[in-house]
Amino acid sequence: MLTLKIICRTPVRINLANGGDTDYYLKEIGWGCVVNATLASHFYEFAINDDDKATLDVVDYFDYIANPNRTYRLESNVSELDLLKTTMKELNVDIKNSFALRTNVPMQSGLGGSSALNIAMISALLHQKGEEIIPHKIAALSYDIERKKMNVPGGYQDQYASAYGSGFNYMEFRDNGATVSNMGLNEDVLEKLEKNLLLFYIAKRKFSGSKMHDLQKESAEKDPEKVKQLLLEKRENALAIKGALLSGNLDEFGKLLLKEGQIKTRLSGSGNEFFEGIMALALENGALGGKISGAGSGGCMFFYVPDEKIEGFRNAIASTGAVEMNYRFQRSYEHGIFLKTL
């Protein structure tokens, strides 16, 4: 029987408002900000086993039929090993243990899953080396591995959200780096959000997050002045969403979510008829607002729905084949990186 030596679990996040967290957008507007929230219920878990089998076991709790359990030899040339191999190389580790990856997050969900996984990998591997686990340092290292070493386009928020955890965070990105501030929402607001902010897995994304970031960068380069104005509008809206959450004005928060999604569509230069249809259906059935989580083109969507509309809303969205994801937000005392040694 295997003895699990080290286990690290990290949360994914939902992106509530994005006022700029990618280098090509920050270049246009000088600084950016994000409001996001980490989930206690949805995670990536990475384990280092005390053996010498040199394998990776992958377990998908969300959709084990479409993605059955699988095992890879570490010397295999498969894409699912790329992140682990690159991370081990950057950390200068060459261990022959077997590893396990477990998650209950849908693939290509727009919830920042790859970054959550990398934060878990880095933390477990550093812990094995006896190094101190510092969330800010690990987030920066994960960003460097994904964006620079692996050339995966994207922003900064995913790594910092997963490393810090603690639920609702406001992040700023400036020339001197990233700052993460927990918003400290009171329990009444958190429980209201968990009841009225409904999260659905709509469909696997048509394009990867990387592809969407490439398209957004192309759009920015074609018409920088238009993009700059939209980004400034988006940043202002992100600050308004932060204010609505802090004041507990959740109906206003719902309406601002709708605006966030609308600006995002204008910024990308194109929409998606299927997801626009779901948003129209959501609004017809009582939602005050909502948006796609992540870079866009699919994955998860969430909607803010008043109490009296929830039942009818659920029935309407279920008719599209969407799967509701029951979830819980992390609280401010719940850290992003949870390490356990057995």
- Strands 197-203, 323-324: pairing is antiparallel
Written as six digits, the tokens of 308 are 């009296």
Q: Tell me which of 258 and 203 has the higher pLDDT.
A: 258
Q: Is the pLDDT of residue 211 over 60?
A: no
Domain that holds residue 292: 187-324
Q: What is the DSSP string of 46-105?
A: EEEESS---EEEEEESS-TTTS--EEEETTS--GGGHHHHHHHHHTT------EEEEE-S
Please name the residue that has the structure tokens 């501030």.
Answer: 181
Give yes or no: residues 56 and 163 share one domain: yes
Q: Is the pLDDT of residue 1 over 50?
A: no
Render pLDDT for 149-167 as a digit per residue (tens, 0 to 9): 999 999 999 999 999 999 9
How far is residue 137's CA from residue 115's CA, in Å, rounded to a whole number? 14
Question: Helix (H, G, I), strand (E, B), or coil: what is residue 322?
Answer: coil
- Strands 99-103, 55-60: pairing is parallel
Q: What is the domain-level CATH number for residue 229? A: 3.30.70.890
How far is residue 62's CA from residue 121's CA, in Å, rounded to a whole number? 20
Q: Is the pLDDT of residue 206 over 70?
A: no
- pTM here is 0.93
Give yes or no: residues 106 and 251 share one domain: no
Q: Between vectors from CA 250 to CA 248 and to CA 253, what angle results, nearest 5°?
A: 115
Written as six digits, the tokens of 94 are 């060459």
Cα first-last separation, the chain: 13
Written as six digits, the tokens of 280 are 């129209």
Q: Is the pLDDT of residue 207 over 60?
A: no
Write phi, then psi, for 4 (nearest 5 degrees).
-75, 120
Distance of CA 113 to the CA centre of its chain: 6
Give yes or no: residues 30 and 175 share one domain: yes
Residue range 119-147: mean pLDDT, rounded? 97
Render pLDDT for 33-67 as a digit per residue (tens, 0 to 9): 999 999 999 999 999 998 999 999 999 998 877 77
Q: Is the pLDDT of residue 213 over 70?
A: no
Q: Is the pLDDT of residue 208 over 50?
A: no
How far is residue 274's CA from residue 203's CA, in Å, rounded to a whole number? 10
For 204, the enclosing helix (H) or strand (E) is: none
Q: Is the pLDDT of residue 221 over 90?
A: no
Give yes or no: residues 145 and 135 share one domain: yes
Q: Name the residue among 100, 137, 126, 139 with its Cα closest to residue 13.
A: 139
Q: What is the domain-level CATH number for residue 30? A: 3.30.230.10
Give yes or no: residues 10 and 159 share one domain: yes
Strand-pair partners of 10: 44
Instruction: Name which of 16-20, 127-131, 252-256, 272-276 the model is least confident about.
Output: 272-276
How far is residue 278's CA from residue 203's CA, in Å, rounded to a whole number? 11
Render pLDDT for 225-267 as a digit per residue (tens, 0 to 9): 989 999 999 999 999 999 999 999 999 999 999 999 999 888 8
Give yes or no: residues 262 and 134 share one domain: no
How far is residue 27's CA from residue 146's CA, in Å, rounded to a whole number? 20
Give yes or no: residues 123 and 177 share one domain: yes
| DSSP conformation class of 333 | T
Render pLDDT for 62-114 as a digit per residue (tens, 0 to 9): 887 777 899 999 999 999 999 999 999 999 998 789 999 999 999 889 999 99
> Position 233: which residue type?
E
Give yes or no: residues 114 and 179 share one domain: yes
Give yes or no: residues 227 and 181 share one domain: no
Instruction: Name which of 80-89, 157-166, 192-201, 215-224 the model is least confident about.
Output: 215-224
Give yes or no: residues 175 and 199 share one domain: no
Task: Say how many domains are in the chain.
Answer: 2
Give yes or no: residues 170 and 207 share one domain: no
Render pLDDT for 258-307 as a digit per residue (tens, 0 to 9): 999 999 888 876 667 888 899 999 999 999 999 998 765 668 999 999 99
Render pLDDT for 310-326 as a digit per residue (tens, 0 to 9): 999 999 999 999 999 99
Give yes or no: residues 204 and 129 share one domain: no
